[in-house]
Structure formats: C-alpha cells, structure tokens
Structure 1
C-alpha cells in the first residue's frame, strides 16, 4: 500500500535544486525547540522515554478536573508517572490508599509547594484547594497530565505518538494539543486538537450496540467563538478496532498543514478537516449566530494557525465524556447531571474497581515515543 504518511520510515532532508535544504513552513518555540533554519522533513522534537525528562515535560498539578469535573487529582508523583524500560507510564491510583477513606469526606487537599515546579498550575474549578464533604468528596483518584508548554510548541508539522491504551472502567486516556498562547481568546476560541481520546471500559456500548470503550478512539477539533458554540460535531471522527486499542501499541498521528488537518491511526486516515476559503467560521456556518468572528483578520486555518503544545494524560470519569445512556456491565454509578457525581462514582466503586487490574500495568497509559517532523 502506498504510504502517504511515512512516520515509520526514515525522514530525509528535502533539498532544493541548489542542494540546500528546503526551508520548512513549520515554526517552533520553547526551551527544547531546535535553533536555526528548519528544513522540510527535519525531526524537530523526539522523546523515546529513556528517562522522565522534566526539561521536556512539565506536570500539571490541579484538582480542576479538566473543565469536565473529572474525578482525578493531577500531580507530580512517581507513583503516577514514571519511565520503565523505555516506556512512559501514566497510572491511576486511589487517594484513599494514601490518606484513608474518611479523608475524602472531610479532608482538605491544597496544592502548594516551595518551588514553582510544585505550585498549582490551574486554579479554575477549585483547582488549587478542595475540602471534602458528605456530598462533594475531594478527588478520589490520583493521576498525571504532562505537557510541553514551556519546552516545545509548533505550528504545522507531523506528529506521531506510539501508545498502548489502558483497560479499566471510566478511564479516559488522551493525546492532544492546546494553543500555547490564546491568540483568539479563551477556550474554545483559540482551538483544541484532540489526536486521540478513548475510554477504558471493555464492554461499554452505545444504544446502537457499537463499542465506545477500548475498541474505539476519537479524534476531534474543538473551536468556536465561546463555549456555547463549541462547533466540534463536524470535526469529530471515530475509528473502531475489534481487538481493542488496549491489546497492543498503535501509532496515533496528525498531519497539520496550511490547508488541512488529517488524523491517522497506524497510517490509516481517520478523518480530514479542510476548511473552505471562509475558514472555520464558514465551515460551521457560524455567521448564523450573529456573533463576531474572532478569526476574521487571520488565515482560513484560524484558530489552527498558531503554535500548539503537546499533552499526554489519563483522566477518570467526569460529567461530559461517558454517556448516561451507554450499556456497561454493572451500570454507571453516577449521572452526568448529578451535583455529587464524584461521590456517587466513589461510592459505586464495587462496579468499577474490579475492572482495574492493579496488580499489573493494564490500567496504565503507556507511551513508547513522541516524534514531531517539520513539513
């Protein structure tokens, strides 16, 4: 088969007729970004995870739940993020194992440290301090979310992440990108690129009988003039694999050019977004809203014409990603509109904890490498 996305092959510098490198349109920034001229085809960022390189990756430390009231506490702890045998592991653990069950209902979690690396990274949604109550417990799960915010960002290029996804009910692994500078204002005006999202449930199916757990991955662009007009429905794609994306490593890929964004899994196209001349405003007929177009002074790729950074994380639950009408063995212990969703999740742990094999690495998001090439 013709390989239109040669991630698994050697990348050669493209030469012009004079023998010099063909200058890339890719731009980069950050402490780990290459200096000087970037040639088309250059490998501009790479991590094979021979170590957990904190010069390349910064941990987010927050209780905020990713804007979805997710149930995890993101922290910098080697129980939750570590490298072993050339593989990055992001692992969920129980807060009760560290502090006891009663702490969830009456204890206080406050993220503050003696150095900038230990400080709370996002105060939104009570992200820096929470005190548990009988109806609103503190985040019951610890996990990790790492990003290249300060070390590497790029605009236009090809990215590949080789990963093996976790198994366990209500786990939510993600490989994605966010704008390094919110050029067009706050989310989703400045965009979001979800290269891969999945659910750890083995047997979760939608009302039509389609597995939406470990057998399915999704790729999505989020954009809109404000959160009420997050017009992702036309830029969301799904791909199913009957053996499950937890059974082996797969390559999750994005090709991002001045004209289109294309998502791949193992070199197979999942979906392509090609905005018309009127850009994403025209693509989603946002003129019908009567709102002001925040991208009208920029290219048709706006908001996806700015530098983005890479994020790798493992979330748990929340009130947005796991549908209430899904069919899952044992049911779903919380409702998305419940004011005490985290409490219901924790108190329903007999349903999900048995699906977390905590004696193996099955619940871990495992990353073999991350690579980015210039166009």
Structure 2
C-alpha cells in the first residue's frame, strides 16, 4: 500500500514488554530409548497443561530456544503424563547418546518453559506393544532461534508465541544469587525463576545486542503465524485517522470488531463509524485518538491522524478498520515470504499486504523503499479506461523507491494480474502470494505464476527508475549495493483501507453506478458517505456478520534461503 505515494513511514518507538515469570511447575522428562533406535519422552503433568511442546537434538546442544533437530507438540496424555515417541527412520538413538532438550507447556494460553535439559541414554528401553494406544502428536515446523550477545545481567524470552504462531526469540540465562525481582542494567524488570533471571521481550530482538540468525540448514523457517489467535507480541495495531496518506475514508483502531481471529484465520473487517457513535457524530463530533495509556496512544499524527473534528462539509472518517504491523517483533532482509489469504469483496474496499523498512536508512518515503506484495480493489465491476478489469478479480504488486515524493518511478517496478481461476474472484477462495527477495532481484508470484520480477542493473534502482536523468540528489550514492533501498530489514503490514484519493482513479469506470466522489474535490469523504445506499449493500453487511468485506489471512511464513 503506497504510503500516501508520499507519506513518510511511521516512526515507531521499539517498546520492550517485560514479563516476570514465577517458578516453573513443568518437570523434567524421563528420556529413554524407544523401539531399538528411537526416543521416548515421558513428561509429568503437574500443572494440568493443555499441551506440551518438546524440542530436542541428539548429541548436539541446543542454544536458548533453538528448534533442535526435532520439535513436536503433544496434546494427549497417558495417565498423568504427556508421552511423546519418535521412531522415524531418520532418528538413531543408542546407549550412551546424550539427548538435549527443552520443554514448553501452556495452560489457558499462559506458557511455562524448562530450558537447558539433557539426558544420557542408558539401558532403559521401551518396545511398543500392538495394543498400546498411540499418543497423537503434531509435528511443529523446525524454526530457528535468533541468538544475541546479551549484556551482563540481561536475558530474553522464549520462542513460543502462546499458540498464536511461532516467533523465534532468544532465551539467555544468567545465574542469580537472589530470589526477588529487580532491575536489569538496561532498566527492564526481571524476576528470578529457580535461580535464573528471565526477561521477555516482545520485540523478537534483544534491545542491547545485535541479533543474528543461527540457521544450520536452508531453507530455514524464521517466522510463522497460523493465526490460531491474535498474537499481540507479534502484531501492533496502528491507531490513527491519517490512513496511508491517501486521505482514505477509514481510521485505524484496535478492537475485536475490526481485527480478530476465528477458525485459524485473521480477519480485518471494515465497519461503519456510525455503528459505534451514531451518524450525527460524523458531522459534529470529535474523534480523539491521542490516548492516555501506552497501549492506546495514537501512532501517527501525520495528516491530522490523532484528532479530527467533524463538520457537515468535512466529516470524520466514516469507516473504521485495522492495520497491523510486525515491526516490534519481526523484521527481515532477504528471503522468501508466503501468504495464504482471501481478499475482501465490496465496492471501494482496498486491502493490502506489504512491507516497509524497519529503519529509514535512506530517508523518508519513498527513499527507503516499500514492497507491495498484493493490493486489490473490492469492486465487482470496475474497469480502467482500456476496459481491463481492476476489481476483485485482479491485483497489483509494486516496489516504491526514489529520492522524494513526486519522484517515485513505481511504474518501472510494477506488475498486475487479472486472475482466471475456477473460483472466479479473489474473494471466493484462499490463494497463495509469494515474495522472493535476495541480493539480485525481487519477485512476486501468485499461485506459482510470476506477477512481478524486478532485477536492477549494476547501477541499481536509481538507474532502473531513470532517476539518473534528473538533477535530484541520489540517496543511494553512498552504497555500492545495487538493491538499495531494498538492502535493509523490512517489516510486514496487513490492512484494509477504504476509498481515498489516487487508488480509485476518476477515469476508471464502476458499474452499476459511478464513483461517488472526485479526487479533486475538497469533500471526498462527505460525497462518499452521502452515497452509502449505493456502495454499502455491496459489502453484504447482513450476511455472515459482514465478513465478505474482510481480508482473511490463513498464514504467513518467512524463510531464510541461504547463509
């Protein structure tokens, strides 16, 4: 989603969430050989846990919350213990081998962990009997942890995301002589747990040190969210009426009407502001998003994003929606990102899955870049001046770059696709978009079919965009990396906007009624709202809780493809 085709990326404070954990009740496992070559874990359930996850390696120590060679979730018990067995052909465990492992358990969404465990295989062995009930386990994809060098007295949280997706983080343990909580050198609250200090950071990185990947094989899964629940450690909600700088008609909020998870899917659903505040509020009320607590503070005042006063001509944003970003928890440079999603259907709805830079290494937008994996429009009968469909059966992928607003040659790095699929539109079923990004190119694919593939020349994106023909200063001239500005870490954004200026061009044709507003008008939001009887029925708000108008995301996965 273009940041206004001129909006500077949000400046976001990296906040550290500190959680003090009490003494862990999860107990070490009994580890033994199983069926001649495998391994068996018997984990006492003293805490009545919902499930236990076990990560382990054979004869290879695991650092922190490393995924290990094997990782499983165990959901059923035998008696009063969770039991996991593994006798797959690939595993070979013999007497004298050391099994290194760590455990993660959850009860009601609250996690407990036990780290740094090991057991030497002795003479004890178990042979499965045909009449024995097999424990049901679910293979957890192997996810590599992020390791850091921590300061003295510092530590960091575990890698399980309480069931809402895997976000690998680092646990570094330091021995503590005391048993009471205190302050770390960096000012974070810490609490002791069995003589070990643990600090949990929601950022995914230790703030004091430098993060690095510890992948041992490739492709290496470094991020996954299956949206079993909405993980607030991973996703931060924007709170602003400034939208993306395109004077869209929504304001972004954090509630479970506009963003929620259900049946393993994330829903981002636009609704009417008047449903909450009444229609009179739009023309006479005050929308105050400044907030008074850390979790309710306005995230951007750009374009009057923190407070708006309604009047009959300039009404308050008539739509409320949600925009989620991963910048406090996950940022990456180079790799493969896969998203399985369903786009919304309804006139003037604008969904987007995109990336912005974690830091503006080359300056404000668009100098530091933007990667739009998919942008679509929810209209069912919407065509450009050449008669090509531009509605819910099509989408675009784009790179934004350039020195300043007005010099963004995105048309040099843009691809569009009108889908021809049995389901008809992008709203009828889930589809997979793939971003492949490395030192040579950026490619977006849809269901395996290439949509956009941008490989800049040796002179970089400055040359690709023909910006060398201008007299404007080149922000990339001090780097010899041709991928600049796409040589930095980026974060993921998921949002649903509505209307605005620019993305629904006046020259495009909508049927059965024309576009309700003109981009050159001073009263775009008012004109849009005055034609609610035309566009709102296309959202089908009275069917299936209005979820036709929602963008639904099944999963997001990111792999590191090479060292």
TM over 0.5: yes
Q: Is the 8 Å Cα contact of residues 331 and 351 (structure 1) preserved in structure 2?
A: no
Residues in 2 aligned to 1:183 and 1:315: alpha-carbon distance in whole angstroms: 27
Tell me how many residue pairs correspond in the alignment.
Answer: 351
Q: Could you tell me which residue of structure 2 aligns to residue 186 of structure 1?
A: 364
Q: 2:304 aligns with which of 126, 136, 142?
A: 126
1:31 aligns with 2:203: yes
Residues in 1 aligned to 2:204 and 2:427: alpha-carbon distance in whole angstroms: 31
1:308 aligns with 2:480: no
Residues in 2 aligned to 1:343 and 1:262: alpha-carbon distance in whole angstroms: 39
Q: CA deviation at 1:117?
A: 1.6
Residues in 2 aligned to 1:244 and 1:210: alpha-carbon distance in whole angstroms: 15
Instruction: Output one character per residue of 1:206-261: Cα deviation in whole Å (capped at 9) or x when no partner.
Output: 12111100011100000010001011011110011141111110011100000100
Q: CA deviation at 1:112?
A: 2.6
1:249 aligns with 2:434: no
Q: Could you tell me which residue of structure 2 aligns to residue 166 of structure 1?
A: 344
Instruction: Output one character per residue of 1:348-368: Cα deviation in whole Å (capped at 9) or x when no partner.
Output: 111101101112211110000
Q: Which has the higher helix share?
A: 1
Q: Could you tell me which residue of structure 1 aligns to residue 280 of structure 2?
A: 102
Q: Could you tell me which residue of structure 1 aligns to residue 509 of structure 2?
A: 327
Residues in 2 aligned to 1:146 and 1:284: alpha-carbon distance in whole angstroms: 30
Q: CA deviation at 1:114?
A: 3.1
Q: CA deviation at 1:113?
A: 2.5
Q: Could you tell me which residue of structure 1 aligns to residue 402 of structure 2?
A: 224
Q: Is the 8 Å Cα contact of residues 184 and 295 (structure 1) preserved in structure 2?
A: yes
Q: Is the 8 Å Cα contact of residues 220 and 237 (structure 1) preserved in structure 2?
A: yes
* Partner secondary structure for residue 154 of structure 1: coil
Q: Could you tell me which residue of structure 1 aligns to residue 526 of structure 2?
A: 343
Residues in 1 aligned to 2:334 and 2:286: alpha-carbon distance in whole angstroms: 43
1:267 aligns with 2:448: yes
Q: 2:221 aligns with which of 40, 43, 46?
A: 43
Superposition pairs of residues 7-22 of structure 1, within 5 angstroms: none
Q: Could you tell me which residue of structure 2 aligns to residue 366 of structure 1?
A: 552
Q: Which has the larger radius of gyration?
A: 2
Residues in 2 aligned to 1:362 and 1:36: alpha-carbon distance in whole angstroms: 39
Q: Could you tell me which residue of structure 2 aligns to residue 157 of structure 1?
A: 335
Residues in 1 aligned to 2:267 and 2:405: alpha-carbon distance in whole angstroms: 32
Residues in 2 aligned to 1:184 and 1:320: alpha-carbon distance in whole angstroms: 25
Residues in 2 aligned to 1:63 and 1:202: alpha-carbon distance in whole angstroms: 27
Residues in 2 aligned to 1:268 and 1:32: alpha-carbon distance in whole angstroms: 33
* Partner secondary structure for residue 122 of structure 1: coil
* Partner secondary structure for residue 505 of structure 2: coil
Q: Root-mean-square deviation (CA), in Å?
A: 1.7
Residues in 2 aligned to 1:149 and 1:337: alpha-carbon distance in whole angstroms: 34
* Partner secondary structure for residue 555 of structure 2: strand
* Partner secondary structure for residue 155 of structure 1: coil
Residues in 2 aligned to 1:278 and 1:134: alpha-carbon distance in whole angstroms: 52
Residues in 1 aligned to 2:343 and 2:213: alpha-carbon distance in whole angstroms: 36
Q: CA deviation at 1:32?
A: 3.0
- Segments of structure 1 that go 5 or more residues without pairing to the other structure are 1-12, 14-22
Q: Could you tell me which residue of structure 2 aligns to residue 292 of structure 1?
A: 473
Q: CA deviation at 1:36?
A: 4.7
Residues in 2 aligned to 1:301 and 1:35: alpha-carbon distance in whole angstroms: 21
* Partner secondary structure for residue 337 of structure 1: coil
Q: Relative to structure 2, which stretch is displaced further, 283-292 or 142-151?
A: 283-292
Q: Is the 8 Å Cα contact of residues 334 and 345 (structure 1) preserved in structure 2?
A: yes
Residues in 1 aligned to 2:487 and 2:356: alpha-carbon distance in whole angstroms: 12
* Partner secondary structure for residue 105 of structure 1: helix
Residues in 1 aligned to 2:301 and 2:291: alpha-carbon distance in whole angstroms: 14
The higher-RCO structure (CA 8 Å, 6+ apart) is 1
Instruction: Output one character per residue of 1:139-161: Cα deviation in whole Å (capped at 9) or x when no partner.
Output: 00000000001100000010011
Residues in 1 aligned to 2:453 and 2:215: alpha-carbon distance in whole angstroms: 26
